[in-house]
Amino acid sequence: MIKIPIIGVIINTQKEKARELAEELLEYLDSKSIPYLLESGSARVISKVSRSAEITELQEKVDFIILFGGDGTLLHTASHFCGTGIPLLGINVGSLGFMTVIEKDCFKEAVDNLLADKYEVENRMMLTAEVYRSGKQVYKSYGLNDVVISRGANFKLIGIELYINGEFISNYEGDGLLVATPTGSTAYSLSAGGPIVHPRLKVILITPICPHNLFMRPMVIGDEDEVSVNLKIPGKKMHLSTDGRSILELQNGDQIKMRKSSQEVSLVRFPGRDFYQILREKMKVDML
C-alpha cells in the first residue's frame, strides 16, 4: 500500500503574495486528496482553523514542510525542524531567496515532483553558539546561516581575542565577528567580504567585520574546529545574534564558543537545480 504523505504548510502571513499562493496550494492539494496541516498562526490568517496544528504537532505528524516566504521564513522554520529529518521546501516570494529556490510561478510543478518522489534531500550543517559569563554558560542558540557578534549602533569598537581549538589566533578591534556555515556563505558573510562556499563542503567560515587590523582576513576552517572569542566591550547594547534573531546583549569579559551543531536541517532539492545554477540566477554571478 502506497503511503500518502502529509504536508505541513507554513506561511509568512505578512506577505500578501505568500497568503495567495498558499491558498492556491491548499486548493491544489484538496483536488488531489492530499492531507495537510497548517501551522496555527497561518491557519488563523487564511481561515483554515479546521486544519490548524501547533509546531509540536507538525513535528510529529507531517512528512514534508512547504513554506511560503523568503529566506528569513526558511531560517525561522529551520529553527523548529532542525534534527527532525523533516525536509523543508521553500517557495520564494521574497526579493532574493537563495535557500527558497522554488519561484512562485513553479510551485505546482515542484509539489508534483515532491509527491512523485522526484526529489533529493540535502542535509545542511548548523552552528551552536554558547556564551559564558564568569565561567558559567548563560546562553545557547543554533543557526543555519551564521552567528554574529556586533557592536550594533554603538560608536565604540569591540575588542576581539580570537582562538581556534584553544590556539590563540589574533587580537583586533572592529565592528564584530561573523562565523558562518557554508549555507550562510551567500548571506551576511558575503556582504562582509567572506568567500562563497559550496553548501556541501564540511567547513566553517570566520569573517571579521570591519577589523582595524590590515592582516585580519576571512578564514575557512574545518567543521570539527571550535571557534572561541573573548570580548572586551567598552559600550552597551552590543549583541550576539543567530540567523538574525535570538539576540543577546553582551557584556565585557564574555566568552563565546562556536562549533558545528549535532543538529542538521533537511532541505528538498530537485535534480537539475544545482548550486552553481542557483548562484548564477540569484547572485548574477558569471561563472564562465
Which residues are part of the catalytic machinery? 71
DSSP per-residue codes, the chain: -PPPPPEEEEE-TT-HHHHHHHHHHHHHHHHTT--EEEEHHHHHHTT-GGGEE-HHHHHHH-SEEEEEE-HHHHHHHHHHHTTT---EEEEE-SS--SSS-EEGGGHHHHHHHHHTT--EEEEEEEEEEEEEETTEEEEEEEESSEEEEE-TT-SSPEEEEEEETTEEEEEEEESEEEEE-SGGGGTHHHHTTPPP--TTS-EEEEEEES-S-TT---EEEETT--EEEEEE--SSS-EEEETTEEEEE--TT-EEEEEEEEEEEEEEE-TT--HHHHHHHHH-----
